Amino acid sequence: MSFQADCIFCQILQGEREASFVYRDETVTAFMDLFPVVPGHVLVIPNDHQQDFSRVEPEQAGQMFQLGREIGSALHRSGMSVEGISYFLAEGEAAGQVVPHAHLHIIPRHAGDDCGLQLHKGIPERAERGVLDRRAAALREALKPDAIF
């Protein structure tokens, strides 16, 4: 496992900092957020240090989301008040990542909880099909060559 000494999540994994663990295995770990947006806010992290989610090994990334889905389901069964769940992952400061260790937020939601992710301010302008097609082509080119379209 790779750890980074100055990473708070790595310090939690190494037992150097306290955490309220929800789940832990050899690949991924989940614990309660110390600064929850709302009660019940959980973080899922890879046990190997990677700052960017796009660099997390594919199997480990899948396990993060599988565990996130299971925790979301458990939140509904837990007796905590939950009307909905937001799953949030940010990569990079510009996207809102605060701790430089990839992590998935599982956030219980309630109507009017004053927590949210706003993708657009107002009504977004509709993109032109030609622009979308060019961007899709650029992404296809950057993906694995064996992708089927």
Catalytically active residues, by annotation: 103
Other beta carbons less than 10 A from residue 6's beta carbon: 7
Query: Tokens standing for 77?
Result: 């069964």
Q: Which residues of 59-92 are buried (b: 16+ CB within 10 A; e: fewer)?
A: ebbebbeebbeebbebbeeeeeebeebbebbbee
